């Protein structure tokens, strides 16, 4: 049975501290020591203390809700980042609510409105691919509501963010293909020029140049980076008779499409064409052959994004903090590039 009657007074009695100290500890007040917070959380868990957030929100004017905007929660990358954010938030007695933009600008604008309407205490977001105007995020900043961006960001917004070193990830992926013997490496890139894709393209080009291989514009092809795009782009390369021995795709879904088409044409992977994707989606380890890809450190990104968020939320500074973190990606070598 759930003990729904547990109160902060019980916690206080057990630890021989005041109820107000318990309340402050549960609300992550910076004046309370980490040691006390840990003890309070432990006892709260033991006696199954269920805080009354609504009453607490009414008292404090805080909702203890954080709004998270992502293009879609149905991608391993975004769901892992959300999990990382959620784990820390829940430990600090916050809940997160998610809103999806489906990469549509209008929906993203409405998401911001909906989350403000839900009285969130702050917003954590990753842009949609179509977002090239940032007024909706500026509105959040102007209202003094904490905002942290991850992965998909824009330098024009001087706001705290956590991103991956996409340039480095691409550079290492292409260098790996070159070391595996590839000379004619195709690059699948997104038709939308958001930061992550321009950085991956830059990494691709620089790795080629650094290894004495000229960048051939014929080998750089554009799509929306879905499975179908990968299929279409690969069919087109084969139809046109383009000579290539490797593909570095800026997304795993597109490289999966390439693998399907190459197999259906009887082109051996990795014998004739070697493949590297980006994202480490779970299916890349299911395919035959398994797909080499770049891991985006999504759990770490979620954790650091949440830490950055709470630092800003708890900051007593009048000037907002702007903190930028860049994570190192990891190349996961599997059978498609051996």
Q: Map the footprint of a copy of itself across residues 182-241, applying CB under 8 A.
A: 227
Length of the chain measured in residues: 338
User: Is 13 or 118 the residue whose CB approaches a copy of itself more closely?
Assistant: 118
Q: Which tokens sit at 31?
A: 């004046």
Cα 103 to its chain centre, rounded Å, is: 14
Q: Is 256 in the site for a copy of itself (CB under 8 A)?
A: yes
Backbone angles phi, psi at 4, to 5 degrees: -85, -5
Q: Is 299 in the site for a copy of itself (CB under 8 A)?
A: no
User: Is 116 or 267 the residue whose CB approaches a copy of itself more closely?
Assistant: 116
User: Is 23 or 80 the residue whose CB approaches a copy of itself more closely?
Assistant: 80
User: Is 60 or 314 the residue whose CB approaches a copy of itself more closely?
Assistant: 60
Q: Which stretch binds a copy of itself (CB under 8 A): 7-15, 98-106, 123-131, 140-148?
A: 98-106
Q: Map the footprint of a copy of itself across residues 33-52, applying CB under 8 A.
A: 50
Estimate the share of the chain in helix, then strand, then coil, as percent rounded to the nearest 5: 45, 15, 40
Among the listed residues 18, 38, 97, 132, the single contact to a copy of itself using CB under 8 A: 97
Q: Which stretch binds a copy of itself (CB under 8 A): 72-80, 145-153, 198-206, 324-332?
A: 72-80
Shortest CA distance to 204 belongs to which of 229, 186, 190? 186
Contact, 279 vs 170, CB < 8 A?
A: no
| Long-range contacts formed by 130-137: CB under 8 A, 24+ apart | 130/103, 130/104, 130/105, 130/192, 131/105, 131/194, 132/105, 133/105, 136/108, 136/109, 136/112, 137/112
Residues lying near a copy of itself in the complex (CB under 8 A): 2, 50, 53-54, 57, 63-65, 67, 72-76, 78-79, 82-83, 86, 90, 95-100, 102, 107, 109-111, 113-120, 133, 135, 227, 256, 260, 282-283, 286-288
């Amino acid at each position: 049975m759930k003990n729904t009657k547990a109160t902060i007074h019980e916690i206080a009695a057990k630890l021989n501290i005041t109820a107000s100290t318990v309340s402050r500890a549960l609300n992550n007040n910076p004046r309370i020591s980490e040691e006390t917070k840990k003890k309070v959380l432990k006892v709260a868990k033991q006696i199954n203390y269920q805080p009354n957030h609504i009453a607490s929100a009414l008292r404090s004017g805080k909702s203890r809700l954080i709004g998270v905007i992502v293009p879609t929660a149905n991608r391993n990358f975004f769901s892992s980042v959300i999990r990382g954010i959620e784990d820390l938030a829940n430990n600090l007695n916050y809940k997160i609510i998610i809103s999806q933009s489906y990469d549509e600008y209008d929906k993203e604008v409405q998401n911001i409105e909906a989350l403000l309407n839900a009285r969130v205490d702050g917003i954590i977001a990753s842009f949609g691919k179509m977002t090239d105007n940032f007024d909706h995020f500026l509105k959040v900043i102007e209202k003094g509501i904490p905002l942290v961006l991850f992965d998909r960001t824009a330098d024009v917004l001087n706001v705290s963010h956590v991103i991956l070193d996409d340039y480095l990830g691409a550079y290492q992926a292409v260098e790996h293909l070159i070391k595996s013997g590839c000379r004619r490496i195709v690059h699948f890139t997104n038709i939308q020029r958001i930061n992550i894709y321009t950085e991956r393209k830059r990494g691709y080009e620089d790795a080629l140049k650094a290894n004495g291989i000229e960048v051939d514009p014929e080998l750089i092809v554009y799509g929306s980076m879905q499975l179908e795009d990968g299929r279409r782009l690969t069919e087109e390369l084969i139809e046109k008779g383009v000579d290539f021995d490797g593909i570095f795709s800026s997304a795993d879904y597109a490289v999966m499409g390439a693998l399907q088409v190459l197999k259906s044409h009887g082109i051996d992977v990795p014998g004739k064409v070697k493949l590297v994707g980006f994202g480490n989606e779970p299916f890349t380890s299911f395919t035959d052959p398994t797909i080499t890809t770049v891991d985006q450190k999504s759990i770490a990104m979620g954790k650091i994004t949440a830490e950055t968020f709470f630092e800003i939320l708890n900051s007593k500074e009048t000037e907002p903090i702007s903190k930028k973190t860049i994570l190192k990606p990891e190349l996961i070598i599997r059978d498609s590039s051996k």
